[in-house]
């Protein structure tokens, strides 16, 4: 399976840059920098920011950051997929995951939106046959805290340290998915980390 489109989910605007909900944007930015992608360009017709790269490891890939706000992410994704004739199975989506601890990442090929409105909107507009790169942000600290308040809150300084230390692993997960395919990537990324290899990626 080859991938032609990678989508990072988040909200546009400077006020959202460091929020938990924008980790998908941050991972995609880091991935683009790491692999030497072209500069990002705003495409009004798609309501998104796009760039592309041609990589020796996995060929040409389009990167997309929807600028429609999270709950309407699927509209932008649908437009790009339709224009470039990209089927769902050739797309990967990077987004924040409540059910994974901060610093963790997992890859999957199926499943529900799990309460994530951006993923839910994509699922409502295209077939569910796309890869998911789920980046952990951890559970709410208090059960009574509104979910929207939590995902739109900013990481603490200690949490930012974890995010920075984990970014290489996030990027590596995406590289492995595109280069090796979902099965091999899942076998490597989704396994439980051992105490003696916590620093290896």
Question: What is the Cα–Cα distance from 131 to 92, expressed in whole angstroms?
Answer: 4
Residue 51, CB-side half-sphere exposure with 13 Å CA sphere:
18
Active site residue 116: no
Question: What is the Cα–Cα distance from 126 to 5, expressed in whole angstroms?
Answer: 14
Question: What is the Cα–Cα distance from 70 to 173, expressed in whole angstroms?
Answer: 23
Residue partners of 50: CB distance under 8 A and separation at least 6? 40, 41, 43, 62, 63, 64, 65, 80
Among the options 20, 21, 75, 132, which is catalytic?
21
Q: Mind telling me the catalytic residues?
A: 21
């Amino acid at each position: 399976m080859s991938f032609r489109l990678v989508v990072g989910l988040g909200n546009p605007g400077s006020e959202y840059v460091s929020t938990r909900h924008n980790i998908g944007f941050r991972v995609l930015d880091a991935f683009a920098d790491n692999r030497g992608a072209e500069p990002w360009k705003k495409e009004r017709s798609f309501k998104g920011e796009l760039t592309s790269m041609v990589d020796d490891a996995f060929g040409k890939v389009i990167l997309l950051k929807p600028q429609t706000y999270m709950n309407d992410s699927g509209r932008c994704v649908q437009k790009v997929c339709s224009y470039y004739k990209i089927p769902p199975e050739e797309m990967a989506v990077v987004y924040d995951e409540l059910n994974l601890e901060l610093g963790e990442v997992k890859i999957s090929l199926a499943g529900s939106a799990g309460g994530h409105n951006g993923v839910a909107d994509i699922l409502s507009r295209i077939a569910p046959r796309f890869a998911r790169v789920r980046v952990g942000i951890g559970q709410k600290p208090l059960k009574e805290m509104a979910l929207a308040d939590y995902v739109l809150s900013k990481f603490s300084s200690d949490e930012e340290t974890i995010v920075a230390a984990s970014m290489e692993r996030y990027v590596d997960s995406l590289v492995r998915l595109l280069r090796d395919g979902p099965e091999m990537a899942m076998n490597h990324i989704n396994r439980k980390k051992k105490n003696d290899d916590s620093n290896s990626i």
